[in-house]
């Protein structure tokens, strides 16, 4: 007779084994859930930090992490030679002041073995306004009967009588440079002129002076627009602006030699066509904003900013795990290899460069091929974005002097951002036009190596000035 309890033992053992397996799987899944919860918490915290940084206008592009080994401050290696301030020549010394040592300043005792020590202080003199009196003459022409009047070549105005006291061209030029290139508000410009130069002037007076100066500089501005449209490479970018209380956009079109600013009510492709012209034959370097990809610009040669792509790929790399991170890393490696090949191009034989460039092109095509199975939605979107701009990603390899990034335009936008923060943009359409003209002329003169003040003085004294007429006599601008 068999024991019924013994018949149940195999069943009980199998049940215990199965229960142990289920408990083990449960523990593994609980551990995985805990890891995923920690990852989600980290990503939520990173997103909150990013949103908080983006809302802070003071540091919208601040890093979220400290660099472990930051670069040392000061002059970078290979950029210039360190040297002390040169010793002034005897002709440069205008005054000598000596302090004798008659006795010890500590105990009053006599001093022996006296030695001389020199220190040269280079300073600016106390400045006071210089007043120049211009005397002109008027009379009746005996031949044509018209009333005529003389004008000195250095005069900038024909005003007489109650309006016969005017601010001179150098003061107006300095004020315009402070306001429209360096971003100093009119109130502080007036304070600088009053405190530093003893020249009182109101904010309204400065604004009116800039409006007249912009009208005088309009021919130079028109010439800059014509020249930028004929350039081989143009970098373009835009940033938010205001005219009064209404939204607007400040655009910049620039290269190494010229810069044109314009303020428009819209952010469409019409602004690009207006400045560069429909028949623009150069290369337009920009980010991936849709205005630069309009059908009207479909036949233009372009270069999309590789720096923007690498930044987005870095963010994509940090937000992904497992196999999803592979795509961002592969595309990043390919773009960095292209940048390295660009740097090596001068030292490579033409055939070797062409072969390496062809391999990079094929590598990029394979990475973003529409038939490639990408399971992550963000990777799919980024690959689609790269396919859209495929023809404009590696043009920097083949066009001499073409930068792979749009840093040139972004650098030229930084002064505008400062002006926006400190001066509050513009109140009227006329003020926006004034800022566009004067900022363009000033920045271009600096790029060309012209004296900024002398250039604006020349514009005030000479009707119809041109960019070439602003060049120093010894500077060849041909």
Q: In the structure, what pLDDT confidence band is assigned to residue 63 with cuts at 50, 70 and 90?
A: low
Between CA 443 and CA 341, with CA 405 as vertex, the angle to 5 degrees is 130
Rounded to the nearest 5°, which phi and psi values hold at 303? -135, 115
Q: Nearest 5°: phi and psi at 286?
A: -160, 180
CA 354 to chain centre: 33
The reported pLDDT for the residue numbered 476 is 46
**307 close to 405: Cβ distance less than 8 angstroms:** yes
User: Reduced to 3 states, what is the DSSP secondary structure of residue 207?
Assistant: helix
In contact, 111 and 103? CB cutoff 8 Å: yes
Q: Which pLDDT does position 418 carry in this prediction?
A: 83
Cβ-Cβ contacts under 8 Å for 288 (sequence gap 6 or more): 304, 305, 308, 385, 389
pLDDT digits (tens, 9 = 90+) for 252-273: 999 999 999 999 998 999 999 9
Domain ranges of the chain: 306-397
Evaluate if residue 8 carries a pLDDT over 60: no
What phi and psi values does residue 238 have, to the nearest 5 degrees?
-150, 160
- In percent, the amount of the chain with pLDDT more than 90 equals 65
Q: What is the mean pLDDT of residues 284-299?
A: 93
Give 69's DSSP letter: S
What is the predicted pLDDT for the residue at 62? 59
At 457, is the pLDDT very low, low, confident or very high (cuts 50, 70, 90)? very high
CA-to-CA distance for 240 and 420, rounded, in angstroms? Answer: 9
In this prediction, residue 364 carries a pLDDT of 94
Say how far apart CA 390 and CA 364 lie, in whole Å. Answer: 9
Helix (H, G, I), strand (E, B) or coil at 138: strand
Q: CA-to-CA distance for 180 and 210, rounded, in angstroms?
A: 9
pLDDT band at 202 (very low <50, low <70, confident <90, very high): very high
For residue 475, pLDDT over 50 is answered with no
Q: At what angle do helices 452-461 and 429-448 cross, to 10 degrees?
A: 120
Asked whether the beta carbons of 418 and 404 are under 8 A apart, the reply is: no
CA dist., res. 78 & res. 396, Å (int): 26
pLDDT tens digit string along 341-368? 999 999 999 999 999 999 999 999 999 9
H or E segment to which residue 260 belongs: strand 259-264
Q: What value, to the nearest 5°, has the Cα angle with vertex 341 and ends 340 and 347? A: 110
261: enclosing H helix or E strand: strand 259-264
pLDDT score at 224: 96
Q: Residue range 54-83: average pLDDT? A: 67
Instruction: Give pLDDT, residue 324.
Output: 84
When pLDDT is cut at 50, 70 and 90, the band that residue 404 belongs to is: very high
Nearest one of 156, 157, 140 to 148, comparing CA atoms: 140
**Which of these ranges, 49-58, 408-417, 467-476, has the smallest mean pLDDT?**
49-58
Strand stretches in 281-339, DSSP E: 283-286, 301-304
Q: Is the pLDDT of residue 10 over 50?
A: yes
- How many CB atoms sit inside 10 A of residue 352's CB? 13
For range 230-238, the mean pLDDT: 95
pLDDT digits (tens, 9 = 90+) for 128-157: 888 999 999 999 999 999 999 999 998 888
Reading phi first (left if > 0) and then psi (alpha if -120 to 50, else beta), residue 108 is in: left
Using DSSP's 3-state secondary structure scheme, residue 148 falls into strand
Token couple for 437: 């003209």
Q: What is the DSSP string of 408-453?
A: HHHHHHHHHHHHHHHH-SBSSHHHHHHHHHHHHHHHHHHHHT--HH
d(CA 289, CA 286): 8
């Amino acid at each position: 007779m068999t024991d019924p309890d013994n018949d149940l033992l195999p069943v009980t053992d199998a049940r215990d084994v199965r229960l142990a397996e289920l408990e083990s799987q449960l523990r593994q899944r609980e551990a995985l859930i805990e890891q995923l919860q920690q990852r989600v918490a980290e990503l939520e915290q990173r997103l909150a930090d990013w949103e908080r940084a983006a809302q802070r206008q003071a540091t919208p592009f601040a890093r979220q992490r400290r660099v472990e080994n930051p670069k040392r401050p000061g002059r970078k290696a290979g950029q210039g030679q360190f040297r002390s301030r040169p010793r002034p020549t005897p002709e440069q010394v205008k005054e000598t002041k000596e302090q004798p040592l008659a006795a010890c300043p500590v105990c009053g005792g006599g001093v022996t073995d006296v030695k001389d020590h020199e220190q040269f202080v280079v300073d600016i003199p106390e400045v006071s306004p210089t007043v120049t009196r211009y005397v002109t003459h008027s009379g009746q022409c005996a031949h044509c009967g018209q009333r005529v009047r003389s004008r000195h070549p250095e005069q900038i105005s024909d005003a007489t009588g109650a309006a016969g006291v005017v601010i001179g061209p150098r003061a107006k030029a300095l004020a315009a440079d402070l306001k429209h290139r360096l971003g100093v508000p009119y109130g502080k410009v007036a304070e600088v002129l009053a405190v530093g130069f003893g020249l009182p002037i109101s904010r309204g007076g400065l604004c009116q002076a800039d409006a007249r100066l912009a009208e005088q500089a309009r021919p130079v501005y028109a010439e800059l627009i014509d020249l930028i449209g004929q350039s081989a490479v143009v970098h373009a970018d835009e940033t938010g602006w205001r005219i009064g209380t209404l939204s607007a956009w400040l655009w910049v079109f620039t290269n190494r030699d010229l810069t044109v600013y314009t303020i428009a009510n819209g952010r469409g492709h019409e602004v690009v066509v207006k400045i560069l012209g429909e028949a623009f034959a150069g290369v337009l370097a920009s980010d991936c904003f849709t205005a630069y990809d309009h059908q009207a610009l479909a036949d233009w040669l372009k270069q999309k900013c590789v720096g923007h792509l690498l930044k987005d790929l870095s963010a994509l790399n940090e937000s992904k795990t497992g196999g999803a991170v592979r795509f961002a890393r592969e595309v990043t490696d390919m773009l960095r290899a292209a940048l390295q090949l660009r740097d090596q191009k001068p030292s490579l034989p033409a055939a070797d460069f062409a072969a390496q460039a062809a391999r990079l092109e094929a590598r990029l095509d394979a990475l973003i091929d529409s038939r490639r199975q990408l399971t992550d939605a963000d990777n799919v979107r980024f690959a689609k974005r790269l396919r859209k701009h495929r023809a404009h990603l590696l043009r920097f390899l083949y066009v001499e002097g073409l930068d792979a990034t749009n840093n040139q335009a972004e650098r030229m936008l930084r002064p505008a951002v400062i002006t926006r923060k400190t001066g509050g943009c513009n109140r009227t359409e006329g003020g926006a036009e004034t800022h566009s003209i004067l900022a363009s002329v000033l920045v271009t003169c600096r790029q060309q190596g012209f004296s900024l003040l002398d250039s604006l003085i020349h514009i005030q004294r000479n009707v119809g000035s041109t960019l070439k007429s602003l060049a120093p006599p010894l500077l060849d601008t041909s």
